[in-house]
Structure 1
Amino acid sequence: MAKRLQTGIEVLDRKLGGGVPAGSTIALCAQPGSQVELFLNELTAMRGTLYISLGRTEEAVRESIAASPARTGDPTIRHITGDAPIDNAAKLVSALPDASNLIVDPVDVLERASHDRYRNFLNEMQNHMANTNGLAILHCLDGQNVPQGRDTTRFMADVVFDLSTTVGADSVENRLAVPKFRGGRALNEVIKLELSERVAIDTSRDIA
């Protein structure tokens, strides 16, 4: 069995048999108004991380990580702007050292590029992560304007995490599904999570 890399989220690593296979690419899909940043922040604590931000500035990401109540690391943060985001992201990815994390937040900007260019970027990124035993997380915003490349992201990804957030009259419920898991067993259950200070199982109600 391929070496497993921990995500830093204990409940998830336990249910996935110790983590995800080294070299994997994860599509983390969540609504824009969710607490999905806790996932990304906790991931930075596990190993050296390159955090590519395609939305927020480097300062905003750094302040968010510093203010997080969860355990975090000290990632290298790069904010990509301009007319060639895929080219700039590819250069950064190609320089990643062995056993590193890669976070792309959000990947939507790249998903709006032409199909061929985006697919080539994903292939090159996945080859690099596999050759260096790293772990890539692509943060996918599941909002009202989903990019044309989202199907490509989910198809190419080795693992898919679907986080859904439901706001009720007196509560907020977060549920995590793992419908796809190459190199392992996908979960046949949905995990109810508490996303406040850290990512943990929601014990206030029945666990789905």
Structure 2
Amino acid sequence: MTTQAHKSSRPKVFVIAGTSGTGKTSVATNLLDHYKKDLPNLKYLEGDDLHPEANVKKMSSGHPLQDEDRWDWLKIVAHKSSDVARLSHGISIITCSSLKKKYRDLIRATEPNVDFYFIFLYANQEEIFARLNNRKGHFMKANMMQSQFDDLELPIPHQEKNCAVVNFEGKPLDVITNEVLVYIEKALHNEDFNM
């Protein structure tokens, strides 16, 4: 990958998306490590860290968020990730569930001069529940996961711009990261991104 591949284009934000328990943070940190030589100032944001305190309290007490809880947070996600992209090689990486199409549409509309690429990590519910049950110290509890699966609207191939789905069932982290990298490299070289 050369930094020249994307220098003259619009800022690009790569959203590592999916329900809780899909490994978004692990993949994002692997991506940062992969690009550290060519893009030493590349930044990654954890979307969960941008939630307003009221959202965190609501989730911590075992209540799933509703659409009205998410609107302001999604705008913050769009603004912060775009600002970072403008200051960091023209690209940034953020983790954000982006479960519904209207959430992705809002992110795009909030920063219309930035190209957002949504890469969904996906697996069957049983695998994700097992991962969540082994996770410690996160406000998303396994008993709240059903609401995320109920809300999940995976992008439909070639019907939603700049979206891809990576099924990680039974795959090690390095294989998943490499599959995500294929999509990122396509976007950085202005090739067709969609699945």
TM-score (ref. length: structure 2): 0.44
Higher relative helix content: 2
Higher relative strand content: 1
TM-score (ref. length: structure 1): 0.42
